[in-house]
Amino acid sequence: MDIAFILNGELVELRDIDPGTTALDWLRESRGLTGTKEGCNEGDCGACTVMVTDAAGTQAMNACLMFLPQLNGKTLTTVEGLTSPDGDLHPVQAAMIDHHGSQCGFCTPGIVVSLAAGQISDEQDHTRQLSGNLCRCTGYAPILRAAEAAAAKPVPAWLAGLGPAPALAHEPEMPTTPEALATYLTRFPNAQIVAGGTDIGLWVNKQMADLGRVVFTTHVEEMRRIETAPYMLRIGAAATVEQLRRTMVHLHPAFAEMLGRFASPQIRAAATVGGNIANGSPIGDTPPPLIALDAVLLLRRGDMLRELPLEEFFIEYGKQDLHPGEFIEAITIPREPGVADRLRVYKLSKRIDQDISAVLGAFDIHVTDGKVTRARIAFGGMAGIPKRAPAMETALLGQDWSRENVEASMGRVTEDFTPLSDLRASMGYRLATGANMLMRYWLEDQGTAVDLAEVSA
């Protein structure tokens, strides 16, 4: 496979590359750019953070989970590229020195790149921007002081004009339309689809897997778009979780708030909505709220298209309703103009940031004249698949929206789920907390403060 991209201001053209080569390995081993560190090699520590610029803007991303073909046509900036051609420090680098934000220094390059990307995108929440970067020495106080100081400075002139790579001499050897992707998968139905790579990258880094034949969705622009219409929201399967978060800020704020805790900024910039669904994880964070919103999958196989309610896609643990050569092209959500947003999403995990859910509950309950007229409740972490709670829903429908009826619905959680006990939570804990999320929804609906993220005496 042949690719071309811009690396720290220089055009790089690579021929016959192994599509399973990660950007991190290539940077360190082939280019000697060792400022980008290898830490956890699974997208948790942020030591491998680089900046990637394309038509969507500049974002911090994990080089360890990025395959080289995903860089085609883009601009890649490593920590070595943050300084000016004359050697002037980036404002973040200078601030880290001035505010003593580095000790052992291993995590520092990734932190600096994350903050530099945040400066370009005008990210004001420095804690959120750094949620994908771990520092075990300094602690975050001096780093945050450095972030605040650097934010007051302008983006350096040598980075202010960053954009995607200019028109390249050759077209990418990757599909650029859903039809081309479908044609390729008709010929090679067992080819591994790589979208964001945040899951598949672990197969390579941790299991030393050979991916075999792969096909990338990187240049299928139609599948990377999110389109809002009066009666429908259409989410391309290759749209990133960060794109979805930004869209949901205005449509379903509780969904957006939860997505702010989805992994890290680096992962959200790469991970795709379709990938989070297609991998079939019972603890994926996007399926429960999408199910609660009555989402439908658009599946393509060659010239054949079919629609499938998302809740029917998951058959059992590790098994989805997806045929060889078939892929998720888009996800649609019905919209009702004039109907108020009633979706609430609650994520329970041991850490606020960068943690897998023990339980994730999504509730879309509509009330008219004091009675429940619609109830869609879906959970992750309560079964081998993301799953609705029909017994809980039935106990609410047509009933008064009262504490007594909410408690009756909570009592039926055991009819819907028999969760496993594992390292994240026991069966009893999952059942109790999952049911309690419904009470939290009701209390919040009554105007009671239920957000315990901040507690004051």
Q: DSSP strand E in 1-48: where?
A: 3-7, 10-14
User: Which residue shows structure tokens 């009554």?
Assistant: 446
> Which three-class secondary structure state does DSSP give residue 104?
coil
Domain ranges in the chain? 1-171, 222-445
Neighbour-count burial of 122, counting CB atoms closer than 10 A to its CB (0-12 exposed, 13-18 middle, 19+ buried): exposed
Write out the two tokens for 350: 């041991």
Task: Give the bridge partners for 366, in sequence order.
Answer: 374
Write out pLDDT tens, residues 90-106: 999 999 999 999 999 99
pLDDT of residue 456: 60
Question: Long-range contacts made by residues 340-345, C-beta under 8 angstroms, separation at least 24?
Answer: 341/251, 341/252, 341/253, 342/366, 343/252, 343/254, 343/255, 343/289, 343/292, 343/293, 344/254, 344/440, 344/441, 344/444, 345/254, 345/255, 345/257, 345/258, 345/288, 345/289, 345/292
Write out the two tokens for 99: 């505010």
Write out the two tokens for 308: 């499938």
Write out pLDDT tens, residues 249-274: 999 999 999 999 999 999 999 999 99
Exposure class string for 329-346: b at 16+ Cβ within 10 A, else e: bbbbbeeeeeeeebbbbb
Query: Where residue 163 falls among pLDDT bands split at 50, 70, 90?
Result: confident
> Per the CATH hierarchy, to which homologous superfamily does domain 222-445 belong?
CO dehydrogenase flavoprotein, C-terminal domain (3.30.390.50)
How confident is the model over 119-127, as a mean pLDDT? 93
DSSP state of 425: -
Q: DSSP strand E in 192-303: where?
A: 192-194, 214-216, 226-229, 232-236, 296-301
User: 6 φ, ψ to 5°?
Assistant: -100, 130
* Whether 107 contacts 63, CB under 8 Å: no
Q: Computed over its alpha carbons, how large is the radius of gyration of the chain?
A: 23
pLDDT at 60 over 90: yes
* Whether 433 contacts 403, CB under 8 Å: no
Query: Where residue 454 falls among pLDDT bands split at 50, 70, 90?
Result: low
| Alpha-carbon distances of 402 from 370, 405, 408, 438, 448, rounded to whole Å | 8, 5, 10, 12, 14
Q: How many residues does the chain have?
A: 457
pLDDT at 237 over 70: yes
Write out pLDDT tens, residues 67-87: 999 999 999 999 999 999 999
Write out pLDDT tens, residues 307-355: 999 999 999 999 999 999 999 999 999 999 999 999 999 999 999 989 9
pLDDT of residue 173: 79
In angstroms, how far is CA 401 from the centroid of its own chain? 34
DSSP state of 386: -
**CATH ID of 1-171, from 3.30.930.10, 3.10.20.30, 3.40.640.10, 3.30.830.10:** 3.10.20.30
The pTM of the full predicted model, rounded to 2 decimals, is 0.96
Q: Do domains 1-171 and 222-445 have the same CATH topology?
A: no
